[in-house]
Structures are given as structure tokens and as C-alpha cells.
Amino acid sequence: MRVAGKDAVMLASNNYLGLASHPRIKQAAIRAVGEFGFGVSSVRFLCGTLTVHRQLEEKISEFLGMEDAILFSSCFAANEGFFASIVNDKLGSDQYRDVIYSDRLNHASIIDGTRLCRAEAVDRKIYDHADVNDLGKKLESDRGVGYRFGFIATDGVFSMEGDVAPLVDLVKLAKQHHKTLFVDDSHALGVIGATGRGTPEHLGVHGKIDVLSGTLGKAMGGAAGGYIAASKDLIAFLRQKSRPYTFSNSLPPSIAVAAIEAFKILEEDQSLVERLHVNTNYFRKRIQELGFKIIQGDHPIVPIMLGEAAVAMEMSEKLLQEGVYIKGLWYPVVPKGEARLRAQISAAFNKEILDQALSAFEKVGRRMQVL
């Protein structure tokens, strides 16, 4: 890409598979504009549901091994709509209380979704990041409380760390304590798992998650749109009760058609996913060999830990001068003292591009005496 008039390696994008500029994706979007126009000018329940919207929902649910799916304008809207619509609905009862157990490092959309739930209707309980023992203790202490509904909410992949939720243990805990397991897999769809089916496939629990949310705005073409995939009954309930769905315009047909094409590409050929994994492993290995400290894992999100915000900010600026676009993250986005650069690897890269970026890291790191 070009930044300020010069070429740069893009390490700040969620375009994990390079589909944002894939010829088939662009052609699909153009074809859809010609056939359906720019937008539908309506919400879904009036005149905003086209055949392609239902086709995309069916494609998502089939790909994820779920019964059905519902589209939203974004995953942020999906997560907000999910919790608020269920917890705030009395379902014929004036006296009830629900509970949500949420990972401490969950995405802001999950946090905001739980905050939209009426305080008198829900208990929000935060468990230590990816700590199944802490969660287990909280679940055990609540055995006799008599909650109406209970949810365990987690990211599949945590966006600031690039680490993966312990879904195998969470599935067991949810079943043992009769709780609904909700997983936001936005940074995993098309990214991890042998065929890009996300964290559940990666950890061997594909089809065993109660509720999956995700985005079409990262690996799947990088445009917009989110979804929730779950049982048919739950999706039918959300179509009636979820306010972000009911009162928001439908996704533009061009996005829906292009997203369907993205799923077709993944189903036909896993080479993009394989290339992404190869590139990720190569970059993770080489950046550590240079002497940088990273958070361990196997996801294309590679946090390069620098500690202080000023260091992260300066290194980001100097790397851009050397032809690498990467952004720094610091408090309050991440905890104090844990400032970092977040590299995001793409299947669109080849070894030459990765080596170019690594060379810049080495040059800047030595100049700043980080190495």
C-alpha cells in the first residue's frame, strides 16, 4: 500500500486473507451493484430482505456448523443486540434475574452489550483472563442462586493479545453448569482452524458452541457486517427482539454477495488459510530471533511488547519511515506498562515482503536500542 506518497508494508490491517482486493470479491460486489443497486433503503422486516441476505445467513450457519444465523450491520451491533434483547425481555415474568460471566479482556462490544442490560435484571461477573479455575469457582458459588438464564461470554481470539480462549474447558463448564456459551470469533473466522472455520475448529469443538458471533469486516473481505449463529429458535427470537437488527438498514447487497463469494473461496481452496499460517509462523519465529519479545501463540496477531507508550509511539513513526505501517497500542487500550506494536500478518504477503518488514524492525530496533 501507499502511505504519505510512499510504499509501505501494511501490518495494521485485519485483511488476514488478502480478500479485500481479491478479483473475485471485487467482481462479485460490482455485479451486485449492477443487479440490486447501491442499497435497499429499508430495514429487514419491511422491504429490506433480499434473497442474497438469506443466502448469506444460510452460508454462515452451514460453514460454522450451526442451525441458523442472523445478519447485523456489524459484530459490535450483534453483540450489543444479543445480550440486551434476551436479558431485558421479561418473557412473561416480572421477577427474574440473569447472570453473565465475562472474560476480563473481552472486546468492548461484549462489555457494552452487557452494560445495556438492565441493572435490576442481571448480575455481571468478570473472571480472570482465560482462567477456567476462576470461572469454575464463580460458577460453583452460584449453584443455588436460581438464575433464570446464565451466559459465559468470551472472545475466541483476543484482539490485543492474539491468544485463544480455552474453549474445550469452557464447553465443559457451560454444559456442567447449564449455561449458554457465547463466543465472539471475529478474529478467527477465516484465520485459524485447518479450513478457516475459527477457534472451535482450531480446538476441536466445531459445532459445540451455543452462540457464535463474528464479523464479515476482517478476513472475509474486510467491508462490513456481522452475524450471530445459533439454534433456529434463538435466531427466530432475535429477529423479533434484537433492536439493532430490527431498526437498522439491511446490509448493502454488494456486501452480502461479496461475502458469499468469500465463503465460496474458502470452501473451494484452503491454500489462502495455509499460506496465512505459514506466513504467521515465519514472522513469529524471525521477530523473536531478532530479539523482540512477543506474546506467544500461533495467531496472525503478533503483539511486539515494548512496555512504554512513548517507545511504542516512536517506533511506529520510525518504522513508517522505513516502509512499514504498524500502530502502537497503550493504556487505556492495554494495561499500563504493556504498550506494544500489534503486527497483523496476511496471506497476501510473500517471504520477500515479510523479510522487508523484519529488516526494518531490526534497523529501527537497534537504532532505538530496543534490541
> Among 94-98, 197-201, 203-207, 210-214, which stretch is predicted with the lowest mean pLDDT?
94-98
Domain end residue (candidates: 253, 268, 283): 268
pLDDT tens per residue, range 3-54: 777 789 999 999 999 999 999 999 999 999 999 999 999 999 999 999 999 9
Q: Is residue 70 part of a domain?
A: yes
Q: pLDDT confidence of 90, banded at 50, 70, 90?
A: confident
Position 25 in a domain:
no
More confident site: 190 or 91? 190
Q: Find the CATH number of the domain harbouring 189.
A: 3.40.640.10
Phi first, then psi: give them for residue 327, nearest 5 degrees: -110, 150
Whether 168 is in a domain gets the answer yes
Of 367, 368, 361, which is closest to residue 287 (Cα–Cα)? Answer: 361
Please say if the pLDDT value at position 276 is more than 60.
yes
Neighbours of 271 (CB within 10 A): 10
Rg of the chain's alpha carbons, rounded to an integer? 21
pLDDT at residue 91 in the model: 62
Interatomic CA distance for residues 226 and 70, integer angstroms: 8
Domain membership flag for residue 52: yes
Instruction: Using pLDDT thresholds of 50, 70 and 90, give the confidence band for residue 94.
Output: low
Q: Which amino acid is at 220?
A: M
The CA-CA-CA angle for residues 242, 16, 54, to 5°, reads 35
Query: Domain check: are 262 and 334 in the same one?
Result: no
Residue 96 pLDDT: 78
What is the spatial distance between Cα 25 and Cα 116, in angstroms, rounded to a whole number?
Answer: 36
In a domain, 245, yes or no: yes
11 lies in the same domain as 93: no
Residues 127 and 73 in one domain: yes
Residue 1, pLDDT above cutoff 90: no
| The pLDDT value given to residue 268 | 95
How many Cβ atoms from other residues are within 10 Å of residue 282's Cβ? 16
What is the per-residue pLDDT across 164-179, written as a single tens digit (0 to 9) for each? 999 999 999 999 999 9
Residue 112, class by beta-carbon neighbours within 10 Å (0-12 exposed, 13-18 middle, 19+ buried)?
middle
Residue 171 neighbours by CB distance under 10 Å? 20
If asked whether residues 301 and 252 sit together in one domain, one would say no
Q: What is the CATH number of the domain that holds 316?
A: 3.90.1150.10
Q: In terms of domains, do 59 and 117 share one?
A: yes
DSSP 274-302: HHHHHHHHHHHHHHHHTT--B--SSSSEE
Give the pLDDT band (50/70/90) at residue 92.
low
Average pLDDT of every residue of the chain: 96
Q: How confident is the model over 284-296, as pLDDT tens digits?
A: 999 999 999 999 9
Question: CB of 75 within 8 A of CB of 214?
Answer: yes
Q: Which residues pair with 296 in a beta bridge?
A: none
Which residues form the catalytic set?
Answer: 159, 187, 218
Q: Is the same domain home to 103 and 250? A: yes
**240 lies in the same domain as 280:** no
Closest CA to 218 of 1, 17, 45, 82: 17
181 and 79 within one domain = yes
Say whether both 357 and 228 belong to one domain: no
**Final residue belonging to a domain, choices 227, 247, 268:** 268
69 CB-contact burial (10 Å; exposed 0-12 / middle 13-18 / buried 19+): buried
One domain for residues 196 and 345:
no
Rounded distance between C-alpha atoms, residue 42 and residue 51, angstroms: 14
Q: What is the structure's pLDDT at 180? A: 98
Domain boundary among 268, 303, 333: 268
**Cβ–Cβ under 8 Å, residues 215 and 79:** no
**368: Cβ–Cβ under 8 A, 6 or more apart, which residues?**
311, 314, 315, 318
Residues in a beta bridge with 10: 325
Whether residue 191 is found in the same domain as residue 257: yes
Q: How much of the chain, in percent, has pLDDT values that exceed 70?
A: 99
* pLDDT tens readout for residues 142-158: 998 989 999 999 999 99
Query: Over the stretch 232-273, which tens digit does the pLDDT of each residue have?
Result: 999 999 999 999 999 999 999 999 999 999 999 999 999 999
User: What confidence category does residue 74 fall into, taking pLDDT thresholds of 50, 70 and 90?
Assistant: very high
Domains in the chain, number: 2
pTM: 0.95
Question: Which residue range forms the structural domain that includes residue 294?
Answer: 2-20+270-367
Residue 33 in domain: no
- 305, β-bridge pairs: 340
Length of the chain: 371
Q: Are residues 64 and 175 in the same domain?
A: yes
pLDDT for residue 308 is more than 70: yes
Q: Is residue 113 part of a domain?
A: yes
* Average pLDDT of span 341-345: 98
Residue 116 domain flag: yes
Please give the pLDDT value at position 64. 98
Which pLDDT score is estimated for 117?
A: 92
Does residue 69 carry a pLDDT above 80?
A: yes
The distance of Cα 135 from the centroid of its chain, to the nearest Å, equals: 22
